Amino acid sequence: MGYTNISPTQVTGKHRDPTDFVFSTLSAGGVAGTSMVTDGSSSVKTFTYTVPDGKVFHWYRTNFFMEDAGMDGAKFGGLASLTTGLRLAVVASDTTTCLVDFTESLASSGILSNGQFGLLAGTDVAIIEGAPIDTLNVRWTMEKAGGPMVLSAGQIIAAEVRDALAGINQFKTLVQGLVNDA
């Protein structure tokens, strides 16, 4: 089948540049793709995505991905339940003002176990058992909780590791959304 090139003015509908779509791993210290397997027990380790200058970010989804052995709903990865937990928040560009803390309603103010990811509104949580490694896939869709969250330039999506996660094979968090000019 052959195709004929047409002028872009002949195409109707809204066109989005692929660079407007965000699928970004939360990073530590500006290093993208950073593993969240770290020791946050003595000093909190924060992993972030910052909305670029001059942009507005429509946050549609967050994906948590973990690999470890022996996972179940009561553990965090394959470790025993955490004591302080994973905190998820949106903070202002000053990095000290918390705008939204998604985990504050939990008794610990943090996610302590694999099963507690399901307490975030609009999540799908699946532990897929394998030998010898299990995987935890969490899809936290903002649309299911009422719609995308809109963040302004400089605002930060932050995940704080506040326990020792050494021993987990892999743990990463990715955000998805759309950036527009402010």
Residue corresponding to tokens 């793709």: 33
Gap between the Cα atoms of 81 and 61, Å rounded: 25
16 lies in a domain? no
6 lies in a domain? no
Q: What is the pLDDT of residue 4?
A: 60
Q: What is the pLDDT of residue 109?
A: 79
11 lies in a domain? no
What is the per-residue burial (b if ≥16 Cβ within 10 Å, else e) of 62-93?
bbbbbbbeebeeebbbbbebbebbbbbbbbee
Its domain, for residue 67, covers 26-181
Quick check: helix, strand or coil at residue 133? coil
Q: What is the pLDDT of residue 13?
A: 57
2 lies in a domain? no
Instruction: Indicate the pTM of the whole model.
Output: 0.85
Gap between the Cα atoms of 158 and 93, Å rounded: 11
* Mean pLDDT by groups of 10 residues along the chain of 182 residues: 58 66 84 84 92 94 93 93 92 90 82 90 82 90 83 95 94 93 88
15 lies in a domain? no
13 lies in a domain? no
Total of domains in the chain: 1
Quick check: helix, strand or coil at residue 119? helix
4 lies in a domain? no
5 lies in a domain? no
Q: What is the pLDDT of residue 105?
A: 82
